[in-house]
Amino acid sequence: MKQLMLGNEAVARGAYEAGVRVVSAYPGTPSTEINEAVAKYEEIYSEWAPNEKVAVETALGASVAGVRAMSCMKHVGLNVAADPFFTAAYTGVNAGLVLVVADDPGMHSSQNEQDTRLLARAAHVPVLDPSDSEECRQFMPLAFEMSEEYDTPVIVRLTKRVAHARTLTDTGERREIPLKKYIKNPSKYISMPGNMIRRHPLVEQREIRLSEDANTLSINRIEWAGKQLGVITSGAAYNYVKQALPDASVLKLGLVYPLPRRMIEEFANQVHELVVIEDMEPFIEDTIKAWGIRCSGKDKTGILGELFARKIAHKFAGEEDPGP
């Protein structure tokens, strides 16, 4: 049955369907409604933590104990949670562990426009980037499966427009995931130098494996149209590109870190002009340029504030920025 849901509500629904049992969060727009929606599901223990660090530690503890767990915050909250977040990237998980982090392009309710993808790259943690409420719901079970398959925390990154927009969303049944057995393993979970020196190579190998698997991941897809212009995009920006540039071929990324290099190279080779359109930092664009692939992006759209369909349309028509 389809219904209109906020992106944040759809994240909560997706977590419910994924069999999540513990959610610890700290309130802050644009993420607050996630835990408010989670609290309506009796099958999930949910709480407000005193800060984001405690929220991530609680979720990590639940994961190690054997239950799927989630922690939610806004982008600057990940700064507060950096200690357990970076540690969990090395220790890995037991049951799935997902962090939902909501970025705020345009600073509608925040003190900066920091980009969560940069912290994820520093931690070597994968990032999923949904573009509407239905993808918010669909990506949550995938995020937990990925967390368990690759033994890593996973970030589901929202932006304000995805978090607060309502789009038609399906609903599915809840999966009751059996508890994973807790096995005492000090060399994995005690973050001391001797242990983590041995864990670091596993982190690097995991990222290589993720990068290769990303090339065949269904949430990364090509939508062919004309070959004159090819656009690589993700998240909310995908919706703007489809409206503003209907004749462009689009490589739509659901996994934005690590990137599917082979898929991007094949797409780039088949279009005359390659453009990256993404909110906030030139994260995808800079990586593609570092590979030696010619592309443009932020020189056209700018790095400040939100993207909108009209802004993209005006920029590609060579017209002045229409403003907010």
pLDDT at 324 over 90: no
- Evaluate whether 133 touches 7 at the Cβ level (below 8 Å): yes
Give the pLDDT score at 202: 97
What is the pLDDT at residue 318?
63
Would you state the pLDDT for residue 319? 63
pLDDT digit string (tens) for 194-207? Answer: 999 999 999 999 99
Give the model confidence (pLDDT) of 22-56 as tens digits. 999 999 999 999 999 999 999 999 999 999 999 99
| Rounded Cα–Cα distance for residues 90 and 74 (Å) | 23
Do 256 and 281 contact (CB within 8 A), yes or no?
no
- Tell me how far apart the alpha carbons of residues 146 and 209 are, in angstroms, rounded to a whole number: 12
The pLDDT of residue 323 is above 80: no
Percent of the chain scoring above 70 in pLDDT: 98
Q: How far apart are the first and last CA of the chain?
A: 36
Helix (H, G, I), strand (E, B) or coil at 154: strand
Instruction: Give the pLDDT mean for 266-282.
Output: 97
1, pLDDT greater than 80: no
Structure confidence at residue 314 (pLDDT): 84
With vertex at residue 219, the alpha carbon angle to CA 75 and CA 106, rounded to the nearest 5 degrees, is: 30
pLDDT band, residue 315 (cuts 50/70/90): confident
Token couple for 271: 């279009």
Give the whole-angstrom CA distance, residue 149 versus residue 142: 10
pLDDT of 235 over the 70 cut: yes
Position 317 pLDDT exceeds 90: no
pLDDT at 222: 98
What would the mean pLDDT of 71-97 be, rounded to a whole number?
98
% of the chain surpassing 90 pLDDT:
94
In whole angstroms, give the CA distance from residue 191 to residue 174. 34
Separation of alpha carbons 32 and 8, rounded Å: 8
Q: What is the CA radius of gyration of the chain?
A: 19
Is residue 76 within 8 A of residue 110, CB to CB? The reply is yes
